A and B are shown apart, each in its own frame.
Chain A
């Protein structure tokens, strides 16, 4: 029974070819690039506004040296939010439910911020491991705790996104299968389940967008610390 529920997250293959590549192409195909000579249409203007305001919001607390990350953070945001929201359509595959993909983004990007911090100002970066004003006997333990919390960041980043999206999709599948099986025999219970499904879907749309934002926000915070 459990295996049947998790089958929706199996990375799809067709005749041995991984179809996740096609799912990952979806963000590239949905956003036409604005051409320099032409006036923007509604979709292009919306994208422009979104990217502009998002970058303004994200980069304002970061000093000028970190502004070179603007393209990376904007691309990551658009990529993740598209993948997350597209996955809410029925029968679509959400690549961000794969732990491999989320870790593939979380670990290198976090490591990049850490290495940047250690290369540019190693003392300042090491200083993050000990909060100001700690009493002397607590210093060794606190350094260990802060190092563990530093090392756990990429894991938390990846698993947070995976778990949120996987849990949401699982809940939707459970409630919808309950509603479907109850449809003929106990219609009132089925209508309650459909109501719950509607609310759940609205929640999942919010979660999809918020989780993408949180991923990029946390990365920008790690960047801010190290730059």
Chain B
């Protein structure tokens, strides 16, 4: 099985961790979540009934 060939193992480890640590996190960090409610404090706002103000 060519996956068990030990030759590129260290190189693959180095490349993958390099990309995983240096290139990917900045892309994830630039995402902002300004209005995300926390799961603990989520509450349903009281529903007010609403009627059309017909003349």
Contact = CB atoms under 8 A, between A and B. Distances in A.
Q: A and B, one complex?
A: yes
Interface residues of A: mostly helix, strand, loop or mixed? helix
Interface string A39-53: 000001001100110
Contact of B9 (A36, A74, A100): A100
Contacts of B27: 28, 31, 33
A79 B20 contact: yes
Interface in B1-54: 1-5, 8-9, 11-13, 15-17, 19-20, 23-33, 36, 39
A60 B24 CA distance: 23
A98 B26 contact: no
Contact of B26 (A27, A33, A51): A33
A75 B8 contact: no
A25 interface: yes
Nearest to A75: B24
A78 interface: yes
Contacts of A28: 19, 23-24, 27
Contacts of A76: 20
A25 B28 contact: no
Interface in A67-87: 71, 74-76, 78-79
B39 A78 contact: no
Contact of B8 (A18, A24, A60): A18
CB-based closest 6 A-B pairs: A104-B13, A100-B9, A10-B2, A33-B30, A100-B12, A28-B23
5 contacts: A18-B11, A33-B30, A56-B39, A79-B20, A79-B24
